[in-house]
Chain A
């Protein structure tokens, strides 16, 4: 029983990380049709800069972590918005060029990060409580899982509130459904594109800082690894669906944890099989719109 609880909550924690990356990917694709392969770079640069600032001010404390999170969110939002404004904006409707630019940016940024911070992981300090465990139904749960889950729930709630309660949220929801018609109502939908990139980048930035807490290190490849699973989550959840991304994040991460434990470390393989199954049975994903 305790093993199941441990795997479940660890899966939820990892799912929280996947969601932080996948939420932005899904919204960006849903509104703009852009498959953003550079999304992992937003996460990595945020993790590095958040760690750099946090460790200089107060390493291994809650204050340092909060500052890292703030810097990560800000860096993610700014870098993502700048990427949209400077690179993606002139390439809308040119999907091959978009893919080439974002793939190129992803590869170049990893090389840049390796040049600045080296190729080896850099181990990070965190508040003592996050390194401890809490007993729950007989399982000793690492406390950092609770932080990840809480942060992902806050982000999910925040994005839902933004989408439901603001005019830009209304424009984004309508744009995901029919972008041309939004334009035909006299709305400059491109402004929303930058906002969606910034929101996605902010979530990924927070995800980067939390990933350094979860894994205990930052590295130039942090974003690339998470991006693969975030893409899988996005496709399984349904491109453009925030709710789908949230559900799929949990399903994929929990499945991965259980398969790793009970099926001899085959978590990644099982996840890819699940992706193939969803694509065969329900190509639009769990909650995606019909193409």
Chain B
């Protein structure tokens, strides 16, 4: 197996003095989609934010062999990390085009790729992002991460609150993106995980309790119930 693109060791994170992530260690391979799973409130989003330096953290994080945990957030992202936050966080007062232009770091941003992947967004370039639907905002948020030639994407709950048809569109876009860039995906929708993820890292009580192939976890109803607190009896429909 090739060198992992991301190596997290002994990572702890704090928000307002409260420990939200405790001494977690895992690796993200340089290809494919790795899902970061766990029950609500277990620290998945905080783990992503800790990696990016958006919250106070200790421990080590290596990205592409370079230690990044002492860098400020913007420097980490400049190393080639794309971030799709929970709740999209598009700039509502800016147009779609401005949202994308703001995100462009590369000399040759992948505008044609974005246009092909999200034609609806391209048609709404002049529209304020705050007036878009939730699904369209998610497309903008994804497009911001994909417009640069990143070496890793951190994608936090991209299907949260979206209609089933839009969930499928987002999943298709992620699958397309994953052909060129590895993704660490926080997701609660087992249907999406089953469709996209090759590996999973499961958090419980702020710690890593399972790491391995996605199929190994998803085929084990008992583990799903124990780790995630959900049933997957009817594949694809349970959250």
> Would you call the interface of chain A mostly helix, strand, loop, or mixed?
helix
Known: A170-B101, A170-B102, A180-B54. A185 touches B144 (CB 8 A): yes
Q: Is the CB of B102 within 8 A of A182?
A: yes
Q: Which residues of A contact B78 (CB under 8 A)?
A: 186
- Those of B14-67 within 8 Å (CB) of chain A: 52, 54
Q: Are A174 and B91 neighbours in the complex by a CB distance under 8 Å? A: yes
- How many angstroms between the C-alpha atoms of A189 and B74 in the bound complex? 8
B91 touches A184 (CB 8 A): no
Q: Which residues of B contact A167 (CB under 8 A)?
A: 101
Provide the residues of chain A in CB contact with B98, threshold 8 Å. 170, 173-174
A177 within 8 A of B: yes
Chain B interface residue bracket vs A:
20 to 34
A181, CB-defined interface residue at 8 Å: yes
What is the bound-complex CA distance between A191 and B124, given in angstroms?
31
Q: Are A186 and B77 in contact (CB under 8 A)?
A: yes
Distance of A183 Cα from B78 Cα, bound (Å): 10
Within 8 A of B (CB), among A235-285: none
- Bound Cα distance A181, B89 (Å): 7
Are B91 and A178 neighbours in the complex by a CB distance under 8 Å? yes
B144: min CB distance to chain A, Å: 7
Say whether A174 contacts B94, CB under 8 Å: yes
Residues of chain A in range 185-209 having any CB-CB distance to chain B below 8 Å: 185-189
Q: Are B83 and A184 neighbours in the complex by a CB distance under 8 Å? A: yes
Q: Interface of B with A (CB < 8 Å)?
A: 52, 54, 72-75, 77-78, 83, 85, 89, 91-94, 98, 101-103, 105, 144, 148
A-B residue pairs in contact (CB < 8 Å), sample of 10:
A170-B98, A170-B102, A173-B98, A177-B94, A178-B89, A181-B89, A183-B73, A186-B77, A186-B105, A186-B148
Chain A interface (Cβ within 8 Å of chain B)?
167, 170-171, 173-174, 177-178, 180-189
